[in-house]
A = this chain, B = another copy of it.
Amino acid sequence: MKRIALDMDEVIADVYPKFLDLYEAEFGYRPKAAEYEGGKVYDLPNAYHLRNHLHDPSFFSDLNVMKGSQEVVEWLTKHFDVYLITSTMEFKNSLVAKYDWLSRNFPCISWRKYIFCGEKTFIRADYMIDDKGNNLEKFSGKKLLFTASHNVAETRFIRMNNWQEIKSYFEKELAATRNP
């Protein structure tokens, strides 16, 4: 089975609604996507301190699941060796919250396949699905960029705009393996 290194934040976990809530609670206004395109919500003027909420143990507990990801990830686990790799180490308090969120929302991925790390340069896999160019650029396999506001200008990787596109991509990969 070919191996997939699958990222969590902004790929299967939707972090934006929470940052938009935090922004709105403080500034009394909910920014439109076009306003923070090219960056994150906390890159808006005077908002960088909102990033500190990532140290809050509850931040990761109730994140939304990215639309369509549960069904497609479950399908992927039947055809590929899926590792869930997430940069947690800057935020020690996220460790247990992320573990619980994953167990609850993605029971198809065993804890044996969780990788909590800092950098991701060490991973050996055939595919990486990630929203960050600096993770993908050091990866040796096929690099799939999941669209997020901060990466809209990125052109170096295979772009995936949603989970249905990911399913279509891997259906083709499977077909190519069966009928090379």
Which residues from chain A sit less than 8 Å from chain B, CB to CB? Answer: 3, 5, 83, 88-90, 92, 95-96, 99-100, 110-119, 122-125, 140
Contact = CB atoms under 8 A, between A and B. Distances in A.
Closest 4 interchain pairs by CB?
A112-B118, A124-B124, A89-B111, A95-B95
Main secondary structure of the interface of A (DSSP, over half): mixed
A76 to B, nearest CB: 16
A99 B95 CA distance: 10
Nearest to A120: B115
A115 B87 CA distance: 9
A117 B116 contact: yes
A124 B85 CA distance: 14
24 contacts: A5-B122, A89-B111, A89-B114, A90-B111, A92-B96, A95-B116, A96-B96, A110-B118, A111-B118, A112-B118, A112-B119, A113-B118, A113-B119, A114-B116, A115-B115, A115-B116, A115-B122, A116-B116, A116-B117, A122-B123, A122-B124, A122-B125, A123-B123, A124-B124
